Chains A and B, each alone.
Chain A
């Protein structure tokens, strides 16, 4: 049965490909419905824009002969930002649209198999007349799939929907070529059924409006005719010019990816440009080692301090360069309307349950009837967050998403492997909470949930996530990814890493080989994904970010306010310089996972040429680089500008670097243990120096700073040009979309077959009464 379905899927793909292709690029003569632009207020920069659309089909009124009425009220689409756009995400909402029909297609909200989904595409010009002017997965403008930014979504029973869309400028998409001189638009295309050119005939809508095929099928004309066009204005696009040989080598801290990219495009515009070779994938501890010990890098970026900052003649100190945070992000889609939940709250114990894979996710539950492999280490625990009473007490009226079509385990957290300061901070926050710490030690929570036995007594904080439960399914599914970038990618694509542990049924696995199915991709409308990334990516990609419990018992999300509040609670390490959040602080406004990123820079032993480049770089990024904005040289989304004291501190260090003075008025960090001293195998081998226990101390402020040191101030610091930025992360993240979707969807279906999938989901969701519309 499974084989049959999969085989026919393969055969159909050929047919469908041929069918889809030509029709999609056909000229569609229909005029768009009158669209009226209604800027909110005075179209100031960054304000949202709302566009009125046509009256949409009301499928409740379809008669036996296929006739139907429209809703009496006109539809509308709102885009969060429509001016000075660069390569960025925008948030879209719509109202008055045709609700996605759960009776005729998929019983769940999802764009692939539901009736009346929505497609959103970016198009050339502000009045696109044909779909071929748009960048779409299946119109073959340039290539299939690979980096299409088209979004498919569904509409709730109330006619409303939301989506986040990555608009691309000319750097990311030369086909569209959007920049300050070339206007573009976002076009929302609602599936409206219809039969061929007869858009009033809805007698066969259950095929003509089904899933995303509708946008490449014979009824796409009717959908296109009711498109809603939102004009977009892009900012100028000014990348760096000449490719230069790197002046500096920097390693570490994936937290700084977004800021470093914008700083680089600002630095190259300086009278004396500085080019940085930096690899974000190097974790902080490795970066420190490669800088201090191996001299493979000139500067390390880190949050946790080094043990030793001396290597031969080279001596190092720290300069703060960025403030951001670890973000606990999620996509939990409401099964009642297909829209993502927001405002989720998590406490340390809930996060501990996720990170220790302590939920059974149905698949792992042991029962007498179970034939599948179960996991005694988690037996008796709730299936997932959504059946955990602790979660439900914190989050009222949150129903379990229709997640993980295929093979469960959708709640396995998406985290980065390798050593990481983010991992350290998150586990430190868990350990600081007595309820969570007690849970990990083996004490049950008030509802009887226990920690996964394999994780019992695991010592937090730690700076690397490693799997500990070797049970069949968890071993395959729980896969910390190589770099933080991949965490963000997985969230964007709805594609958890890891596999389901089952061998594929039909794909060509070579003989004498084991091959596994990747975990099923989770479609928009059904997602249940949880990940740990940084606030810069969370803000850039508009991920919903959990409000988490701080020492004051409040639930806070990372914002400028909450990160600034956290800075006030910081304690200072033994080195007298680096700081971390005091998790015992009762400050109710503080976001507890706020992190300061430091540049570990040499203050002796480096030649003048190199030293002056490091100094100028530091001077720039902690000077003009701390002004917010999505422009070259500016500080992008998700970072808090350094407070004045930290800026002064950094600029002071820049002088030290320039002069290579070695000893300064700053407390010179002394190595807490030296390479030749055995006996460092005490708790002090923790990467973190124990905080000095003086919560209010900000020792760096007591250091006298020159307001502007003569040497540094001679460095011309041109104001950053008003220009578009480049952000490398977005296109890279999108490129895999096609493939991941391919693998996820096809493998999942091949293994189980859609019938079985739906059956299984029904089982999981319990009695039908709970799955009705809201």
Chain B
């Protein structure tokens, strides 16, 4: 050993190394082979069996596997862990929507989680080919949510947590038109100027629904700007009109973003100590998980709003659903009217995610069978009903009634499905989020704080239900409600480890030029402590309210000279940005 006279061990090893890796690595290609081989045997053979739920017995549920959307993953994680107690084993890997759909196409999984539907036309920007599903499928909505903009802005050792931006400014940031936090566009939205900190836009590099939702919104709301960006960044390879994409360009002429692979990596980058100035997009749940602030986005009604469960629910009342029950695109979403909805509570970047499941009387994935269908339909019935009630805790929003009903209808098209709740009365659907067919959340959705209205200054407080600016009469009223409190959502996240003890007062943005003398403020609101004091490892929830109160106080107290400094600098930087 080893025998001589044949290929040397080193060479052979190299070859076999490749082979051995292939054994492990070839899930995709092997699956494709298997799928093709098996396809004839499985084609249209499965009869639509009507079965009753067999929940009582032990070990009766076949295990099922799915993969895909990380946007919805935290909700799916809760559902699967809850159902595990009932003997239902569902394995879900949050590997991204695009990969999840590919796994389904190849017949490797029993279901997929995805935010976009199948990309029948491919992805022009990413140059991915059209997706051609081999097997019959239906879409089942699983959870709604908002695409949130998580950011890291530390000024003078203190984290900014009350950032508000208009859609146009968000577009400008993510298309390279605005590159510094001191830009006038941001100052205009925010209500005061931030210091000179370069913006680092953070994008997902893996095919992701968050990217899809975000770019679809941009392409619909700002078609000309989006087209211009898209053609420029691809050096003309993609011609207008540019569609949405699942793969955000990370670089190109005039554009250089920080690319991160997956939701977790995006959050990790933004929260790192070296990422001051970073802003990224993802499902709200990830910001909550990181305890980090997200941008209040200006909605078409003129209010800065957060992606809370109720604000998302309000927005999604305007989603148009493909109601053609015979169409495979049944329940696909058209969000155009969501983007423009003029309810003061509506969060414009709201959307929902789907499960892609096999459909009876069509070609069935090779490893799917009626037993798995019983499990999958039980899962679907659960998530559409009882599973919807605890989503706000995670940063999601419950689905509206029409989607729940449509989803239940599709669950009844899964091969081997169990009997579901009554589609008309919803009897048997333990969904407490409805009262007489109306989403309770929607009914109870609180209006935004008057201080979140466009034009209200940052130091606005609510007194007797009205927006009031301290200093203009009722300053420092003890009954004042912090503007951030009205939405009832976790809006301010203390960040640890970013504190700068060198500037305990937190009054002077570090970027401010000390040589710049005080100049008078001309007509602007005083630029002040827009930031809040955050200790290094603060975590107390009650602190949040304190912080807001502090922010207000600071705003009141600070001298206007600071504003002058910033104003002067803004002019300089604006001039410098001309080219």
Q: Which residue of A lies closest to B110 (CB)?
A: A143
In the bound complex, residues from chain A placing their C-beta under 8 Å from that of B108 are: 143-144, 146
Given the interface pairs A140-B34, A418-B289, the reply to whether A499 lies near B25 with Cβ below 8 Å is no
Task: Tell me the bound Cα distance from A731 to B77 in angstroms.
Answer: 12
Interface pair A306/B55, CB less than 8 Å apart:
no
Q: Which residue of A lies closest to B126 (CB)?
A: A510
Interface pair B65/A174, CB less than 8 Å apart:
no
| Number of residue pairs A-B, CB distance < 8 angstroms | 449
Q: Which residue of A lies closest to B264 (CB)?
A: A482
Question: Among B78-86, B319-327, B355-363, which stretch is in contact with chain A?
Answer: B78-86
Interface pair A145/B1, CB less than 8 Å apart:
no
Q: Which of B85, B237, B544 contacts A264, CB < 8 Å?
A: B85
In the bound complex, residues from chain A placing their C-beta under 8 Å from that of B18 are: 5-6, 8-9, 12, 749, 754
Given the interface pairs A285-B540, A464-B496, A676-B549, the reply to whether A510 lies near B128 with Cβ below 8 Å is yes
Per-residue contact bits, chain B 547-558, to A (CB 8 Å; 1 contact, 0 not): 001100100000
Per-residue contact bits, chain A 169-193, to B (CB 8 Å; 1 contact, 0 not): 1111110010100000000000000
Residues 10 to 66 of chain A near chain B (Cβ within 8 Å): 10, 12-14, 16-18, 20-21, 59, 62, 64, 66
Q: List 16 A-B contacts (CB under 8 A).
A: A179-B59, A206-B2, A213-B19, A239-B85, A245-B386, A261-B84, A279-B393, A294-B490, A307-B542, A424-B537, A467-B268, A513-B247, A687-B539, A741-B25, A742-B27, A745-B21
Of the listed residues A147, A277, A482, the one surrounded by the most CB atoms of chain B closer than 10 A to its CB is: A482
Q: Which residue of A lies closest to B81 (CB)?
A: A728
Interface pair B291/A418, CB less than 8 Å apart:
yes
Residues 354 to 393 of chain B near chain A (Cβ within 8 Å): 367, 371, 378, 382, 386, 389-390, 392-393
Per-residue contact bits, chain B 118-129, to A (CB 8 Å; 1 contact, 0 not): 000001011110
Tell me the minimal C-beta distance from A758 to chain B in angstroms. Answer: 8
Is A445's CB within 8 Å of the partner chain B? no
Q: Which residue of A lies closest to B253 (CB)?
A: A512
Q: Which residue of B lies closest to A280 (CB)?
A: B81
Per-residue contact bits, chain A 732-760, to B (CB 8 Å; 1 contact, 0 not): 10111011011001100100011100100
In the bound complex, residues from chain B placing their C-beta under 8 Å from that of A749 are: 17-18, 21
Task: Tell me the bound Cα distance from A173 to B128 in angstroms.
Answer: 36
Task: Tell me the bound Cα distance from A249 to B263 in angstroms.
Answer: 26
Interface pair B20/A211, CB less than 8 Å apart:
yes
Given the interface pairs A13-B26, A468-B274, A741-B24, the reply to whether A104 lies near B91 with Cβ below 8 Å is no
Tell me the minimal C-beta distance from B472 to chain A in angstroms. Answer: 21
Interface pair B490/A680, CB less than 8 Å apart:
no
Task: Tell me the bound Cα distance from A512 to B15 in angstroms.
Answer: 33
Residues 306 to 346 of chain A near chain B (Cβ within 8 Å): 306-308
Interface pair B546/A512, CB less than 8 Å apart:
no
Task: Tell me the bound Cα distance from A746 to B28 in angstroms.
Answer: 12
In the bound complex, residues from chain A placing their C-beta under 8 Å from that of B93 are: 735-736, 739
Interface pair A172/B89, CB less than 8 Å apart:
yes
Residues 101 to 135 of chain A near chain B (Cβ within 8 Å): 101, 103-106, 112-113
Q: Which of B65, B233, B540 contacts A143, CB < 8 Å?
A: B65
Is A651's CB within 8 Å of the partner chain B? no
Interface pair B61/A213, CB less than 8 Å apart:
no
In the bound complex, residues from chain B placing their C-beta under 8 Å from that of A741 are: 24-25
Interface pair B126/A206, CB less than 8 Å apart:
no
Interface pair B542/A673, CB less than 8 Å apart:
yes
Task: Tell me the bound Cα distance from A579 to B259 in angstroms.
Answer: 43
Q: Which of A10, A103, A236, A463 contacts B22, CB < 8 Å?
A: A10
Interface pair B13/A113, CB less than 8 Å apart:
yes
Task: Tell me the bound Cα distance from A731 to B544 in angstroms.
Answer: 38
Task: Tell me the bound Cα distance from A335 to B81 in angstroms.
Answer: 38
Is B347's CB within 8 Å of the partner chain A? no
Task: Tell me the bound Cα distance from A469 to B274 in angstroms.
Answer: 7
Chain B interface residues toward A at CB < 8 A: 1-3, 9-10, 12-31, 33-34, 55-56, 58-59, 61-63, 65, 67, 74, 77-78, 80-89, 91-93, 95, 108-109, 123, 125-128, 205, 233-234, 237, 247-252, 259, 261, 263-265, 267-269, 271-274, 286, 288-291, 367, 371, 378, 382, 386, 389-390, 392-394, 430, 432, 478, 488-490, 494-497, 499, 533-546, 549-550, 553
Interface pair A511/B85, CB less than 8 Å apart:
no
9 A-B pairs with least C-beta separation = A239-B87, A289-B541, A675-B545, A13-B22, A728-B84, A13-B26, A170-B59, A735-B91, A307-B540
Residues 290 to 306 of chain A near chain B (Cβ within 8 Å): 290, 292-294, 296-297, 304, 306
Interface pair A59/B1, CB less than 8 Å apart:
yes
In the bound complex, residues from chain B placing their C-beta under 8 Å from that of A66 are: 3
Task: Tell me the bound Cα distance from A686 to B538 in angstroms.
Answer: 5
Interface pair A726/B19, CB less than 8 Å apart:
no
Tell me the minimal C-beta distance from A69 to chain B in angstroms. Answer: 13
In the bound complex, residues from chain A placing their C-beta under 8 Å from that of B489 are: 294
Interface pair A171/B272, CB less than 8 Å apart:
no
Per-residue contact bits, chain A 91-106, to B (CB 8 Å; 1 contact, 0 not): 0000000000101111
Q: Which of B81, B249, B271 contacts A466, CB < 8 Å?
A: B271
Given the interface pairs A174-B62, A685-B543, the reply to whether A10 lies near B393 with Cβ below 8 Å is no
Of the listed residues A6, A279, A294, A481, the one surrounded by the most CB atoms of chain B closer than 10 A to its CB is: A279
In the bound complex, residues from chain A placing their C-beta under 8 Å from that of B430 are: 244-245
In the bound complex, residues from chain B placing their C-beta under 8 Å from that of A616 are: none
Task: Tell me the bound Cα distance from A296 to B490 in angstroms.
Answer: 11
In the bound complex, residues from chain A placing their C-beta under 8 Å from that of B543 are: 307, 673, 680, 685
Number of interface residues of A (CB under 8 A): 157
Interface pair B540/A210, CB less than 8 Å apart:
no
Task: Tell me the bound Cα distance from A24 to B3 in angstroms.
Answer: 27
Interface pair B392/A512, CB less than 8 Å apart:
no
In the bound complex, residues from chain A placing their C-beta under 8 Å from that of B123 are: 510
Interface pair A745/B58, CB less than 8 Å apart:
no
Residues 479 to 501 of chain A near chain B (Cβ within 8 Å): 479-483, 485-486, 497-499
Interface pair B21/A174, CB less than 8 Å apart:
no
Task: Tell me the bound Cα distance from A463 to B538 in angstroms.
Answer: 8
Interface pair B393/A251, CB less than 8 Å apart:
yes
In the bound complex, residues from chain A placing their C-beta under 8 Å from that of B65 are: 143, 146-147, 735
Q: Which of A479, A513, A673, A738 contacts B205, CB < 8 Å?
A: A513
In the bound complex, residues from chain B placing their C-beta under 8 Å from that of A664 are: none
Q: Which of A146, A249, A482, A516 contacts B390, CB < 8 Å?
A: A249
Interface pair B29/A243, CB less than 8 Å apart:
no
Interface pair A17/B33, CB less than 8 Å apart:
yes
Q: Which residue of B lies closest to A726 (CB)?
A: B84
Interface pair B264/A113, CB less than 8 Å apart:
no
Q: Which of A242, A246, A486, A754 contacts B13, CB < 8 Å?
A: A754
Interface pair A512/B233, CB less than 8 Å apart:
yes
Question: Among A453-461, A617-625, A635-643, which stretch is in contact with chain B?
Answer: A453-461
Task: Tell me the bound Cα distance from A589 to B328 in angstroms.
Answer: 64
Task: Tell me the bound Cα distance from A634 to B534 in angstroms.
Answer: 41
Is A678's CB within 8 Å of the partner chain B? yes
Interface pair A481/B63, CB less than 8 Å apart:
no
Q: Which residue of B lies closest to A104 (CB)?
A: B2
Interface pair B261/A516, CB less than 8 Å apart:
yes
Is A677's CB within 8 Å of the partner chain B? yes
Is A592's CB within 8 Å of the partner chain B? no
Given the interface pairs A286-B291, A466-B271, the reply to whether A683 lies near B535 with Cβ below 8 Å is yes
Interface pair A282/B56, CB less than 8 Å apart:
no
Q: Which of A142, A174, A241, A682 contacts B367, CB < 8 Å?
A: A142
Q: Which residue of B lies closest to A736 (CB)?
A: B93
Tell me the minimal C-beta distance from B348 to chain A in angstroms. Answer: 23
In the bound complex, residues from chain A placing their C-beta under 8 Å from that of B26 are: 13-14, 16-17, 742
In the bound complex, residues from chain B placing their C-beta under 8 Å from that of A286 are: 288-289, 291, 490
Q: Which of B86, B205, B496 contacts A515, CB < 8 Å?
A: B205
In the bound complex, residues from chain A placing their C-beta under 8 Å from that of B371 are: 174
Given the interface pairs A282-B393, A308-B540, the reply to whether A497 lies near B85 with Cβ below 8 Å is no
Interface pair B393/A290, CB less than 8 Å apart:
yes
Given the interface pairs A289-B544, A681-B550, the reply to whether A511 lies near B21 with Cβ below 8 Å is no
Tell me the minimal C-beta distance from A123 to chain B in angstroms. Answer: 17
Interface pair A144/B9, CB less than 8 Å apart:
no
